[in-house]
Structures are given as C-alpha cells and as structure tokens.
Amino acid sequence: STESVPESKAMSHVFHRSAKQTPPVATRGEGGYIFDKAGKPYLDGSGGAAVSCLGHSDPDVIAAIKAQADAIPFAHTGFFTSEPAERLADRLIAHAPEGLDKVYFVSGGSEAVEAALKMARQYFVEIGEESRGRFIARRQSYHGNTLGALGTGGNAWRRAQFQPLMVETSHIAPCYAYRGQEDGEDLVAYGQRVADELEAELLRVGPETVIGFIAEPVVGATMGAVPAVPGYFKRIREICDRYGILMILDEVMCGMGRTGTLFACEQDGVSPDIVTIAKGLGAGYQPIGATLCTARIFDAFQNGSGFFQHGHTYIGHPMATAAADVVVTKLTDGGMAARAADMGEKLGAALFEAFGQHPHIGDIRGRGMFRGLEIVADRETKAPFDPALGINKKVKAAAFEAGLICYPMGGTIDGVQGDHVLLAPPFILTDDQLGELVDKLGQAFGAVL
C-alpha cells in the first residue's frame, strides 16, 4: 500500500545505492521536472545521468509503450523477432556513422559494453586470430559496472576492490586538454601526442595480442563532459587500422543526440567498428541499450560459427524497442538532436557568462546538452580542493535543496583528485528553464564555494 512507501530519509527495504539513507520518493514527472511525494519540484539538470533527453512525460513514447503492451509485451528472441525491434534497428542504421549496419539489442549500457567486448573477441576467433585477447582503454574511463565493463574501465577506485578483473586491459591517457596540454603546445599537436600513446601501448604489449581500443568520444561521468580535441580520434582510427585492432566507441552517455548529433563521433569525423548506446535511447521510459557493428564483423559470424555466443532473456524486448523507436524518431526526424545542439549552445554560453570568471570554476567544457564544470581551489594553479572537504557532494546537496538535480563527481582525474559537475538536461527545456538551471547551480556554488 502507499502507506508502506517510506517518507524521505526513513529507511526502506530497498537496497539503495547508499545503505545509510533512503532518498526522497519520486512520484511524478512533467517535462523537465521530477516531483517528490511532498510535491517539491526538481529541475532535472542531469537528465538522471544523461538519460531523460525528452523529459519525463512524453505522450508519444508513453502511447507507444501502451500500444505494444496491448499487442505483445514480450516474445523471446530465441523464437521470434518483433516489429518494433526490426523498425528500430532500421532507423538506427539509417542514421548511424558509415559502415555500422547491424544492431544487437540489450537492456542497458553495461550490457551494451559486455556485448561489444564479447563480439570483438569472438570476431577474432571467427577469423582465426585467437591470440588477440586483451583490450586497451583509457584512464578515468567508465564503461559500466558488470565485470567485463568494469574490467576495461579505467576508473581506479571502482576497480580497486574487485581485482583481479577478468578482462585484461591496459590504460593510456585520456584526451584532456585542461590538464594534459603543455605550456605553449598547440591543441592539435597535443591531441596527436596523446593519441600516439595508443601506438606506444600496442607496441609494448604486442599488437597481435590486442582485440581493440575502447573509449568514450566525450568522457561523461568520471571526468565531466570532456570532448577530445580536433584530430585526436582520426589519429586513433589510423592507429587501430594500422595494427588491425577494432575501434570500439562507448556512446552510452554521450550518444543519442546528447552532444547535438545523434552519434557523438560524427563530430570527430570517425566511424568505429563497434559502438554502444543506451541511456538516451530509451530516454528513461524503458531500459534498453544497443551494440552496433560493421558488416565485416557480422559477416565473420555469419560465415563462421553462425552464432554470437552471448544473449540475455530480454534482448530486443518489444516494449523497450517500441519506446526507443519513438525516441529515435523524435531525435532525428523530429529535430530533437538538432534542438540539443541549439539549446546546448545557449547552455554553454550561459555557463560561461555565469561562471567563466568564478574563482573556483577552472574549466567549462562539453558539447550540446552535455556540459561539465571543473571545480578548483585555485584557478591559476588549477589546484583542486582537498578531497576530504567533499565539495562535489556538498554541491549536489545544495543544488538538490534548491530544487536542481545535477551530477557532481569527485575522484581522480588523470592523477589529480578533483571535483566536477556534469549537466545533461532534457533537450526540451525552454530558455527560461535553462536560466533556472544556471541560477540554481549558482545558488549551490554560492552556498558551498
């Protein structure tokens, strides 16, 4: 009964992320807002970690879910395909970067990454290159929390208690100009220099032992919306091709229009061999993810064993794919990805205007409706705050109090322990709501910094 639903802060029997505190109960969503049980509105400045691209009450997505629930909510893919899954795959491929033309559906981001890693490994088995068994990723990357995804991710503190991890991975530097670019170094030269770390690492471990390189085009949760500098991913693509390894891009967070184009890598001018998407694909209405690959990879399976040695009960779920089909239609034909580009420009400009001179904001970055602010103790030296101060947690709490959901993170960013805030609001926000977001973030900074 509703009586048993706990009030904010009372302990419930759900094992929440924090075992010490039960969060407020979300009871309603409308556009860019979530309302708790007491009726308090929260502007969703992070889209629940870059998920809710269309806001919380999209009538068309909801109608599609209802219609599919009435027609056939579930049919196991061991026996059937479904109309929405076929439609969604066609739509994704029509808009995907060149060469990506098969889609494997899963139920979320970590699952999409697991599928990508196993698909890449099995591809080499299918073509008789079984010596390839390891991956190269980047420090500070986050690719998910399942064991394989965690194994490739470069987030030291998440990995620490689960060592040894089962996927052998080595990590190179992220492309992170704010701290990585040397004094007087040209931005493009910097990008080439860090990309070349991939080649050095390949030569160190032996290129014939490597399956692929995995990276987020715009690094999300762990670094706060850090895009690569121009030319970086083109150089990465060249190196992958030179050594015959697969380029896997993880667009779970930055894909699906978030950066202003349906796929973030479009802006880097590259096409990967495998790309993962999730989050914005279901826009929060249904759990769904997908792994797209090239015909070369698919053909190796088709001409080889004929089976991908993988699978989950809920792959290609009819209700999830029905919802996502409407989401992708809105992002593409409906112009919502283009809106993310336009509103994202405004958001970026408003953030520079409000915080560009702030003594504790060292860097403002990102693309489209995907923006990060790095908090520092000193703008000149870029020195971070003492992590013991828990600045990012305090910003989160102050923003929440003010009715703004934002996604602050701490932790090490390429050797430096720091704090940042990630913003990833719904693309449907109005100008006034963008203003409210920036005002409330300013209030939170005012209370903490």
Closest residue to ligand PMP: CB criterion: 109
By CB under 6 A, the count of residues binding ligand PMP is: 15
Closer to ligand PMP by Cβ: residue 220 or 384: 220
Q: x-or-dash pattern for ligand PMP, window 404-433, by CB under 6 A?
A: ------------------------------
- Asked if residue 292 binds ligand PMP (CB under 6 A), the reply is no
- Asked if residue 113 binds ligand PMP (CB under 6 A), the reply is yes
Whether 253 and 50 have beta carbons less than 8 Å apart is answered as yes
Closer to ligand PMP by Cβ: residue 211 or 219: 219
- Asked if residue 143 binds ligand PMP (CB under 6 A), the reply is yes
Rounded CA-CA distance 419/410 in Å is 4
Rounded CA-CA distance 383/308 in Å is 48
Where are the strands (E) in 161-306, listed by range?
A: 169-172, 210-215, 218-219, 226-227, 246-250, 274-277, 289-294
Closer to ligand PMP by Cβ: residue 290 or 441: 290
Instruction: Kindly tell me which residue out of 210, 278, 326, 424 binds ligand PMP, with binding defined by CB under 6 A.
Output: 278
Distance of CA 414 to the CA centre of its chain: 19
Residues 6+ apart with CB under 8 A from 163: none
Three-class secondary structure of residue 110 per DSSP: helix
Scan residues 4-63 and list those touching ligand PMP (CB under 6 A).
Answer: 49
Q: Of the candidates 282, 302, 324, 316, which has an alpha carbon nearest to the alpha carbon of residue 119?
A: 302
Closer to ligand PMP by Cβ: residue 104 or 142: 142
- Asked if residue 250 binds ligand PMP (CB under 6 A), the reply is yes
- Asked if residue 231 binds ligand PMP (CB under 6 A), the reply is no
Give me the amino acid identity at 123: Y
Q: Of the candidates 174, 246, 173, 172, which has an alpha carbon nearest to the alpha carbon of residue 205?
A: 172
Closer to ligand PMP by Cβ: residue 224 or 260: 224
- Helix and strand counts by DSSP (H, E) for the chain: 14, 19
Smallest distance from ligand PMP to CB 429, Å: 21
Smallest distance from ligand PMP to CB 255, Å: 9
Q: Of the candidates 400, 387, 369, which has an alpha carbon nearest to the alpha carbon of residue 52?
A: 369
Residues 6+ apart with CB under 8 A from 347: 369, 371, 423, 425, 434, 437, 438
Smallest distance from ligand PMP to CB 377, Å: 27
Q: Which stretch binds ligand PMP (CB under 6 A): 74-82, 106-114, 301-309, 438-446?
A: 106-114
Where are the strands (E) in 88-158, listed by range?
A: 100-106, 134-138
Instruction: Kindly tell me which residue out of 47, 84, 109, 280 binds ligand PMP, with binding defined by CB under 6 A.
Output: 109
Q: x-or-dash pattern for ligand PMP, window 366-405, by CB under 6 A?
A: ----------------------------------------
- Asked if residue 447 binds ligand PMP (CB under 6 A), the reply is no
The token pair that represents 348 in the structure block:
């970026």
Chain residues that interact with ligand PMP, rule: CB under 6 A: 49, 108-110, 113, 142-144, 216, 220-221, 250, 252-253, 278
